Structure 1
Amino acid sequence: MKNFIGKKFIDFTIPAVMANGSINKNFNFYKETENKNILIFFYPMDFTFVCPSELIAINNRINDFKSRNVEVLGISVDSCYSHNAWIKTSLENGGLGGSLNYVLLSDIKKDISSYLGILDDISGVSYRASFVLDVFKTVRVQHINDFPIGRNIDEYVRLFDAISFYNEYGNVCQAGWVSGSSGIKPSSDGIGSFLKSNYKNL
């Protein structure tokens, strides 16, 4: 994966299955996510094994993301028609159970995955890559998982809280920071005071 931290995420226009189930053949990333924080996550393929657990886990937490002004976008190299079929497939048959409350994008030409450096050369599908963007489309976090390793969705909720906390207060977020923690004043005195009081709890 290339390093995009601190850089603006690329704009693109590709097909998408919208949250209401309709197909938008010309979904423009910048336009559709204006003034939003963004979680854009890549997954290998529809109708696979780890993938439905991740997409359902995100769907179960969609209100947590919406309350933080986060637009969630899933993306794979499948077509929109495959996405639609997978959404409509029952849970017991490995599908998404009939509905999804966020957008699924189709990188069927593989241009975006290739540009980002997350396309597996052998299988021709994307790794489990995630990008956390602020409202300016700046990449604040990027992660990549190998195919068999599912993501912890609660961690992405925490990351948006951490970004918001830093933007508001200027204090940095220590290991294991959670919402409600005080953070660290970014100075020699600040880190010294924090470590003296909290090192056993890290």
Structure 2
Amino acid sequence: MVSPAWRSGSPRFSITTLCFLLVVYSIQLPVGDSQHSCSTMGEVYPQEAIRRGTHNLVWSKAQISKPAPNFSAQAIVDGEIREVKLSDYKGKYVVFFFYPLDFTFVCPTEIIAFSDRVAEFRKINTEVIACSVDSAFTHLAWVKTPREKGGLGDIQIPLLSDLTHQISKDYGVYLEDLGHTLRGLFIIDGNGVLRQITMNDLPVGRSVDETLRLIQAFQYTDKHGEVCPAGWKPGKDTVRLLTSSNLCRMQTHISLNIWMRRLGGRRSDKQ
């Protein structure tokens, strides 16, 4: 026999059920200090409602000073579909950057900016590769579309297709609920080691000048074993690491200066 308190018409039943539903609903709501607060906020298209996107950064295989995740995928190279592998660029620095989608707004400005200055990168033994989750055929259509009509036109850098999203996930830039990537940029050295990561939210593009500066700085430290201070550019002062041999030379130099000063003082006293 059902207690009168739990009959559907009972006020107690209605209030209890309502409280239970409110508790369950509140548990499902995103909390500011939960993992949802790590999500990105941004827009791909102007005037689009801001959406919250969960990304794969915590599962990224891309780690500084570790081998960069390898990839092999179709790409548009010189207007044709070809297979491109990271291992193809062994011995060269690589700028590998992700952009959200083809036929959008900020993305072509970045791709064109890097493409137009690719000679500066190749001058310092560096290649540039762009990547998105679009198919190779979509890339090809974008390249075949003139710039004045929203296309890329002729570009000098490969456009890699990550149709399975695996490359984007390996590099920690994939937004699960949006189906595309953040603006991630990765600098990989000639040994395939990841040296730098830049991760932008969707509305803001990246700087070609800063990317060039970083590569030049890493290459300088590779060659000379010195470190580069903030804002360093070629021709500016660097900082030498304090090694045991440097420390010995420094101590010898200081001791010699002290001895010379004392010797000079004694001569003055005699005079």
Q: Which bin holds the TM-score, normalised by the shorter protein?
A: 0.7 to 0.9
Matches within 5 A, 1:50-65: 50-65=106-121
Matched with 1:110 is 165
Q: Which residue identity is paired with 2:84?
A: F
Alignment check: 8 A CA contact 2:69 2:170 kept:
no
Q: Which residue identity is paired with 2:129?
A: L
Q: Which residue identity is paired with 2:169?
A: S
Distance apart, 1:116 and its partner CA: 2.0
Q: Which residue identity is paired with 1:88?
A: K
Q: Quote the sequence identity (%).
A: 37
Q: Distance in 2 between matches of 1:13 and 1:116?
A: 14
Matches within 5 A, 1:88-167: 88-96=144-152, 98-167=153-222
SS in 1 for 2:74: strand
Matched with 1:39 is 95
Distance apart, 1:186 and its partner CA: 2.3
Matched with 2:7 is none
Matched with 2:264 is none
Matched with 1:195 is none
Give unpaired runs (5+ residues) of structure 1.
Answer: 191-202
Alignment check: 8 A CA contact 2:182 2:201 kept:
yes
Give unpaired runs (5+ residues) of structure 2.
Answer: 1-56, 248-271
Alignment check: 8 A CA contact 2:69 2:171 kept:
no
Structural RMSD (CA): 1.6
Distance apart, 1:27 and its partner CA: 2.3
**How many residues are aligned here?**
186
Alignment check: 8 A CA contact 2:129 2:160 kept:
yes
Distance apart, 1:13 and its partner CA: 1.6
Matched with 2:50 is none
Q: Distance in 1 between matches of 2:70 and 2:171?
A: 12
Identify which of 75, 78, 99 aligns with 2:131: 75
SS in 2 for 1:131: strand
Q: Distance in 2 between matches of 1:103 and 1:138?
A: 20
Q: Does residue 86 of structure 1 match 2:142?
A: yes
Q: Does residue 6 of structure 1 match 2:61?
A: no
Alignment check: 8 A CA contact 2:144 2:154 kept:
yes
Q: Distance in 2 between matches of 1:10 and 1:114?
A: 10
Matched with 2:76 is 17
Q: Distance in 1 between matches of 2:198 and 2:139?
A: 23
Distance apart, 1:117 and its partner CA: 1.7
TM-score (norm 1): 0.87
Tell me the alpha carbon deviations over residues 68-110 of structure 1, each in whole angstroms, 9 at most, x when there is no partner: 11111110000111111111212222211x2111111100000
Q: Determine which structure has greater relative contact order: mean sequence separation of CA pairs < 8 Å that are 6+ residues apart, divided by chain length.
A: 1
Bigger share in helix: 2
Q: Distance in 1 between matches of 2:172 and 2:211?
A: 21
